Each structure stands twice: as C-alpha cells, then as structure tokens.
Amino acid sequence: MSTQLPETETQEAEPETEQPSKGDERRAKRRRRAAERERERQAEEAERAREAEDTVQLKVFRYDPEVPEKEKPRFDEFHVPFTKGMTVLDALMYARDTYDSSLTFRHSCRQAICGSDALFVNGRQRLGCKTQIAELEEPIRVEPLPHQEVVKDLVVDMEHFYDQMEAVEPYFQTNSLPEGELDEQRQTRENREKVKMSTRCIWCGACMSSCNIAAGDNQYLGPAAINKAYRFAMDEREGEDIKQQRLEIIEQEHGVWRCQTQFSCTEVCPKDIPLTEHIQELKREAVKNNLKFW
C-alpha cells in the first residue's frame, strides 16, 4: 500500500492586490517631489541661519509617544535669526514654521495673559511670550514644565493642576445681597488692595512646577490653588461660614501646612504674586481659627 499522500490538486490562490492607477502614481510622485523640495528648502534655511551673524541657538526637547521614531526623548537644535525684542515664543514659532512643522507647544495671547506657554527655559519656569531671548545665555535650552506628564514635545498635561485649583472652590460665594438698589457687590478700597495681587493669577502652573513639595506630594494643593483660596478667604464680602469652609479646605493634611517656605513659587511667578507670603498668612488664619478660649 502506498504511504504517499495525494498531491494537492489546486494551489491556494494569492490574494489579489489592488494596483495603483497611473493617476495615483503621478500624485504620489508629485507629493514625494514636493516633500523633497521642502526638505531642501529647510536645509538651506538652516544653513543660512547658521551662517548669519545674529543667530540664536535653541536646544528644544522633543518627544512623541505616538510616533515610534520619536518616542525616545531627545533635544533638537534650531538656529533662529535674532531680531530685536524677540521672545522665546517667537523663536519657537520661527523654528516650527521654518524647520519642523511637527514641533509642538502651546500659546495663545502672546502677552502674558492666558498662561498657556509656561516652559522650562535655561533651568527656570518662565512664560515663553514674556521671556526675552536677549536676556538668556546660549544655547537656550527649552523644555516642558518639570513634574508634569509630557503629552508631546513641550506640551504637558495640566489636568492635575486644574483639579487642585478646582478643589479650593475658586469662585466668589456670599450669603448677603447688596444693600439698597445696588446691583454690584461692592468692596472697600482697602480690601481690594489686600487681595489685588492674588487676583492676577493666570493659571500658568509655573509655581506648581517649581515647588519641591508638590513634586513629592501629588496631593498637595500647591501654591496657585492656595493663592486662589487666599483671594476669596480675604475678601470681606464672603460670609463668615464660607470663610470657615475655605479654611477647612486649606487646613487639610495636604494643604498650607505642607509649605516649607522655600520661595521657589514666588521667584518664578510671572505675575509677581507674593505666593509664599499668602500661604504664610493663611497659616496664621488657620491658627487663629483653631484657637479656643475658655
């Protein structure tokens, strides 16, 4: 008896692959040529900038977890022609528009109002739009804010920072309505002066990123949120019971008592808010709040 297996009668059919049409090929070729021309233009531009006398050298942090070739953090170097009054944000925009359109960073107002472009420049938290290139030492190292998760390049996840801000109920609350015919809830000049600086916060997150305590304790409310609590706790238009409620929030285990008066938040705040002072004042308020006289 033969032990040979019967020969397969038919070969398995190869899956049919769709052939690109002539038109598709022409379009792909055009796209390749355009990309090549763009690369050449960028290389020439980079060369020109390198040779120009007044050029600024930037070393920019790059990272993109979604692109396999870019998921390993690195620094890219850009040479940007210097112009008078140029800010770090201007230089980044030039680098993005001229050399690499995938370079990612946040910005909006460009006048230190929106707080979206806080960066770590030459080892310090700063607003890109407020920081003059002329005042920095080269090469200028631009990194995302430390102690925050990096989403891509210079963009960090601000969710936790916003959660901490929200935890202190950052809005005005009152029990009493204005007297007489007034629609406004008026404040005395003296009280306005007291809270004035605390109202300047633009939620940039620079203070939180500079704080060693926040870096080690993820639950610490942090300087910006405590400053926000100060802004309302010191506003005499809020009711006593609401102030009490605010003090309970800031007195909690991860509240004001965590601050070790290192002043780093005050040093980096782009709006010059005396954050450490405000935290100390709230500590005094908390002590007064807990004193009992028999």
Angle at which helices 223-233 and 240-251 cross, to 10°: 160
The answer to whether the CB of 220 falls within 8 A of the CB of 210 is: no
- What is the distance between the alpha carbons of residues 225 and 231, in angstroms, rounded to a whole number? 10
Q: Which are the contacts of 142, defined by CB distance < 8 A and separation ≥ 6?
A: 58, 59, 60, 61, 88, 92, 119, 120, 121, 128, 154
224 contact, one of ligand FES, ligand SF4, none, CB 5-8 Å limit per kind? ligand SF4
- By CB under 6 A, is residue 273 in contact with ligand SF4? yes
Q: Minimum CB separation from ligand FES for residue 197, in Å?
A: 18
Under the binding rule (CB under 6 A), the answer on residue 109 touching ligand FES is yes
Q: Are 105 and 81 in contact (CB under 8 A)?
A: no
- With vertex at residue 171, the alpha carbon angle to CA 168 and CA 172, rounded to the nearest 5 degrees, is 120
Work out which of 82, 162, 203, 257 binds ligand SF4, going by CB under 6 A. 203
Among 271, 276, 279, 285, the residue binding ligand SF4 under the rule CB under 6 A is 271
Cβ nearer to ligand FES, comparing 110 with 141: 110
For position 255 contacting ligand SF4 by CB under 6 A, the verdict is no
Q: Which does 289 bind (CB under 5 to 8 A by kind): ligand FES, ligand SF4, none?
A: none
Footprint on this chain of ligand SF4 (rule: CB under 6 A): 115, 201-207, 223-224, 227, 269-271, 273, 275
Footprint on this chain of ligand FES (rule: CB under 6 A): 107-110, 112-117, 127-129
